[in-house]
Amino acid sequence: MYPIYFATVPIEGRKIHLKAGEPFPLQHKGYIRGLGPSVGCPDADTMNFGRLPYVQVIDAGDAEAAQQILELGLSAEQAAKRLTTTPRKAKAA
């Protein structure tokens, strides 16, 4: 699994300006949890990461696909569409 983390709500702060659907600039759980209080989720540091209401997780399938999605700056919607319409490489046995 190669997760990509996207914002589900707009997030505004001194060093971050995200629209809903945009990928987090740092794909790091600790960084993303730290944004919790600014979006009304004060207990983000103790919640199950998959239940954070301001985060959408999309599995890119492999590192190459995840890197391409982030480099292209695709939204969550665009990434999901790309992943369902682009054939994936077969894994070596």
Domain boundaries, the chain: 3-72
CA angle 80/12/65 to nearest 5° reads 25
How far is the C-alpha of 35 from the C-alpha of 62, rounded, in Å? 26
Q: Say how far apart CA 16 and CA 60 lie, in whole Å.
A: 24
Q: Which token pair is 4?
A: 């990509």
Please say whether the beta carbons of 89 and 62 come within 8 A.
yes
**pLDDT tops 90 at residue 66:** yes
pLDDT score at 89: 59
| pLDDT tens-digit map of 4-50 | 999 999 999 888 999 999 999 999 999 999 999 999 999 999 999 99
pLDDT given at position 92: 52
